[in-house]
Amino acid sequence: MEAYTEKVYEHFNNPRNVGVIYKAHGVGEAGSGECSDYLVIYIKVSREKVIEDIKFQLRGCAAAIATSSALTEMVKDKHIGEALAVTEADIVNYLGGLPEEKMHCSIMGVQALKNAVMNYLENLRSYW
Ligand code: FES
């Protein structure tokens, strides 16, 4: 089994943006099909559609913690269009790689973020 990179350990030991945003503009959830891990992402979005704040809650493995933390760091202060363009491969590259058997752990973040943005857009539509 391959080892985790320094950056994975760093995000695992000191995860960014953990928690809940009360009255979030969008909330998205995702579970892993390969295990029972589960992720919830909360976003606050500006009028210019920039993600001003993002937080996550997770029941998951070390790689899921690191990839979720990395994702929030990557998309904070980004336009929702840019944030939606972030892929699992981008997250893995940002962390300097993941062991092959842990590659699937990055999928939940991308899916939960997509669901949070969709939820934000639906909330926006119902507001108007
Ligand atoms: Fe389930 Fe990592 S082992 S997401």
Query: Residues lining ligand 1, CB < 6 A?
Result: 32, 34-35, 37, 60-61, 63-64, 102, 105
Q: Which active-site residues does the annotation give?
A: 35, 105
Over residues 41-68, mean pLDDT: 97
Q: Which atom of ligand 1 lies nearest, measured to the CA of 104?
A: 4
Q: What is the pTM of this model?
A: 0.94
Q: What is the largest CA-CA distance in the chain?
A: 52
* pLDDT tens per residue, range 96-127: 999 999 988 989 999 999 999 999 999 988 86
Q: Which ligand 1 atom is nearest residue 105's CA? A: 4
Spacing, Cα 108 to ligand 1 middle (Å):
9
Domain of residue 26 covers 6-123
CATH code of 80's domain: 3.90.1010.10
Residue of 57, 51, 68, 53 lying closest to 11 (CA atoms)? 68
How are strands ordered across the β-sheet holding 51-59?
Answer: 26-31, 38-45, 51-59
Residue 35 lies in a domain: yes
Residue 61 in domain: yes
Residue 2 has pLDDT above 90, yes or no: no
What pLDDT sits at residue 32?
Answer: 79
Q: Is residue 50 part of a domain?
A: yes
Task: Give a yes or no: residue 128 inside a domain.
Answer: no
At 128 the pLDDT is 60
Total domains in the fold of the chain = 1
Q: Is residue 103 part of a domain?
A: yes
